[in-house]
Structure 1
Amino acid sequence: MAREIVLDTETTGFDPRTGDRLIEVGCIELLDLLPTGRTFHRFVNPERSIPADAIKVHGITDEKVKDAPKFHEIVDDLMDFVGDAQMIAHNAAFDRNFIDFELNRCGRPITGEPRWIDTLKLAQTRFPGMPNSLDALCKRYKVSLVERTLHGALIDARLLAEVYLELRGGKERVLDLSSAVSGRGPGGRIEVAAYGARPRPLAPRSTEAEQAAHVAFLASVLKDQSLWQAHGVTFLEIPATQPA
């Protein structure tokens, strides 16, 4: 099963190299493009003040995060949740820069560009020259924005998970007649029950008299013997996939 993490961040500004810091991170776990129900969400104390322009975007104030843990206090939980999964973000370079900056400050290995899938680039390939913000894609794919009055990491990650599914081919992509989702196991993981061969063939619905009439009809139409009889197949042996 392909495991992916849809991730979004909120920050104090645009560039960690000029002193901006992470203040919120939200993650959604996907297995084979389906949300498992497992999420990760933390507010983070940025150890600096949050500019008014940033507050207008996400509504996160200094007061809201003053007692939140610092990044080095959540890094283990975050990276345990992410594991070795591919990470998905909209304008991924932005989120990656902040995550990798914070990881580097903690002396941890950075994630690096190859681990990230950028939904903005996917959208620009599919809809060249069109608006491809997360809001625009939600409207295009009729993903409800009713929850979203301000930007929020977990809310945006949920919206992006739905958009990502559409960008990957829509809900039809997960329709696979070879398997079916049967429920969730421990930890919210999706368990799949595969359809195999029928363990016990269905009994024929025709009566013995109807079967005999059928054989007699074939004998009257083909004076010598029917094609099925020529190959040693009786009425009862006709495979279910063959037309009767």
Structure 2
Amino acid sequence: MRQIVLDTETTGLEVRQGHRLIEIGAVELLERRPSGRTFHTYLNPGRAIDEGARAVTGIEDEFLLDKPKFAEVVHDFLDFIRGAELIIHNASFDVGFLNAELAMAGDYGKVTDHATVLDTLVMARERYPGQRNSLDALCKRLGVDNTHRDLHGGLLDAQLLADVYLYMTTGQVVLDLAFDAGAPSRNHVSLQGFTITARPKVLRANEAEAALHEQRLQAIDKASNGATVWRTLVDESVESGQSVA
């Protein structure tokens, strides 16, 4: 299974008012694991950025003047997403802007002509009804570290969303896909350019604790007239010479 976790930033909130894309960030997952491949580009929208958009992204008009227009990267973008399942938070927003850009760039159809779309906002609302389900709220609820997200960013938000999606769909430990510009505050190991939180330290019982545990097991076994399952397993393993550890 090939999935692309995607996020965009725009000059404003309403595509019908002529607002345009200014950033696309995407992370590839293969069989639900990061492949190490990403797609990231800033875009020259050919218009001014609204004050609200500048405030949340930190992107200024001057920064985008030498960046490519969408029509210049459309082939690379479609090659990256083609045949994949796109995972997007509040997908109608991003897909609406992408469809508008595709229409202006030429005869490229719509996003859904090239890939399927899964909306994690819809998924979150079904799983957590009546609760806040923004990306920040989900990061907090699921234990995804987003402390480095001072501003919205296409690639950063895609990496955070990948963590959120994997956690929501499997309950597995967070993969910490989002890159960290500073020194990590937790133990991590590398995974093809991403990071995964190290396993917690295992605390084993000492001799006194193990003896008390054995006494408790014997009491339970006695009360059940020898019908406890673990005693049966231990007896069978001893007879066969195998370990039950």
Partner residue in 1 for 2:170: 169
Partner residue in 2 for 1:138: 139
Give every structure 1 segment of 4 or more consecutive aligned residues whose post-TM-superposition deviation is greater than 2 Å.
none
Indicate yes or no: 2:49 matched with 1:43: no
Contact kept in structure 2, 1:100 and 1:112, CA below 8 Å: no
Aligned counterparts, 1:196-211, within 5 A:
none
Partner residue in 1 for 2:90: 91
Indicate yes or no: 2:158 matched with 1:157: yes
Code of the aligned partner of 1:87: L
SS in 2 for 1:168: helix
Structure of larger gyration radius: 1
Taking only aligned residues, the RMSD between alpha carbons, in angstroms, comes to 2.3
Aligned counterparts, 1:71-150, within 5 A:
71-106=70-105, 107-112=107-112, 115-150=116-151
Indicate yes or no: 2:66 matched with 1:63: no
Alpha-carbon offset, residue 147 of structure 1: 2.1
TM-score (norm 1): 0.69
Alpha-carbon offset, residue 171 of structure 1: 2.1
SS in 2 for 1:135: helix
Partner residue in 1 for 2:27: 28
Contact kept in structure 2, 1:10 and 1:152, CA below 8 Å: yes
Alpha-carbon offset, residue 112 of structure 1: 2.8
Partner residue in 2 for 1:18: 17
| Structure 2 segments unaligned to the other structure (5+ residues) | 176-190, 194-238
Code of the aligned partner of 1:156: D
Once the two structures are superposed, residues 117-150 of structure 1 have per-residue CA deviations (whole angstroms, 9 ceiling, x without a partner) of 0000111111110111000000111111122110
Once the two structures are superposed, residues 198-220 of structure 1 have per-residue CA deviations (whole angstroms, 9 ceiling, x without a partner) of xxxxxxxxxxxxxxxxxxxxxxx
SS in 2 for 1:109: coil
Aligned counterparts, 1:199-238, within 5 A:
none
Partner residue in 1 for 2:206: none
Once the two structures are superposed, residues 170-203 of structure 1 have per-residue CA deviations (whole angstroms, 9 ceiling, x without a partner) of 227x9xxxxxxxx97xxx9xxxxxxxxxxxxxxx
Partner residue in 2 for 1:53: 52
TM-score (norm 2): 0.69
Q: How many residues align?
A: 180
Structure 1 CA distance for aligned equivalents of residues 21 and 69 of structure 2: 10
Structure 1 CA distance for aligned equivalents of residues 38 and 240 of structure 2: 50
